[in-house]
Amino acid sequence: MNIFKNIFRTLALMFFALNISAQSINVNETLFAEGNAAYESGNIEKAIELYEQISLSHTSAALLGNLGNAYFRNGDIARSILNYERSLKLEPGNEDIRFNLGYVQKLTKDKLEEDESDQISAFLRSVTSSYSADTWARSSILFAFMLFSLLALVFILKKVSLKRIFLYSSFIMGTLFLSSIYFSYASKKMMGSQTHAIIIEPKVDVKSEPNKDATDLFVLHEGSKVEILGRNKEWLHIQIPNGTKGWLTIDILEKI
């Protein structure tokens, strides 16, 4: 009897949890619609408030993209870039968000460019980040299927000219298959190993050491993207795209 009671209680709790989850989704959908309506009517601050409220319990590329749009309309370039970056992290292939991000980045004061001494590495990073690891993995499965299909045709067909065509095609497909596997692995590794942040203060002095009295190395402005290398109490060791490093306090930036 106790066993049946425990099973009943477990099922009841599961139903209760699912019911709460469903209610939460419905509430978020309502708030999202209200946020969109506020945005369309020009009440940008209300839209931001509603979007931020949703983000406390739920996040998505669409929500973060809309939040980026709202912050841009509200004149907050830094948080606009921050949310566009977060949106792309969830959906790297979203061309609309990528376009919006590129547009807003042109409005920042700091024109941070990567060190061009290693153009091959820069190109590979660019291709890797263009799609998520899952998308690259799915592509590799498709290329693998096409590769084996082409190889099968090479062995089945008797006409030499056709065999040669399918053989060359299989070489190309094999290259695409191996490339997609590499980019899938590289994308997953990149997402797990790198932590970036956006400067949210109008102007900050980057220090040579984690100390307020340390030497000022250079200046960064709101919207600039930095890589976080480490932490020392309330200080973060950061690096800008050209490889220059320094220290900033944790309160003047937000992680992507």
H helix runs in 56-200, sequence order: 61-73, 77-90, 95-105, 119-128, 133-156, 160-193
Q: Whole-structure pTM over 0.75, yes or no?
A: no
pLDDT score recorded for residue 210: 96
Q: Which among 222, 224, 226 is positioned nearest to 196, based on CA atoms?
A: 226
Q: What's the CA gap between 28 and 166, in Å, rounded?
A: 52
pLDDT score recorded for residue 83: 97
| Helix and strand totals (H; E) in the chain | 8, 7
pLDDT score recorded for residue 92: 84
pLDDT score recorded for residue 120: 73
154 and 161 Cβ atoms separated by less than 8 Å: no
pLDDT score recorded for residue 7: 44
Element (H, E) at 221: strand 216-221
pLDDT score recorded for residue 17: 40
pLDDT score recorded for residue 224: 96
Encoded tokens for 256: 């992507």
The CATH class of 2-105 is mainly alpha
Q: With H, G, I as helix, E, B as strand and everything else as coil, classify residue 236.
A: strand
pLDDT score recorded for residue 22: 41
Question: What homologous superfamily does CATH list for 196-255?
Answer: SH3 Domains (2.30.30.40)
pLDDT score recorded for residue 19: 39
pLDDT score recorded for residue 20: 33
Low-confidence ranges of the chain (pLDDT < 50): 4, 7-8, 10-25
Element (H, E) at 249: strand 245-249
Beta bridge partners of 254: 198
The domain ranges of the chain are 2-105, 119-193, 196-255
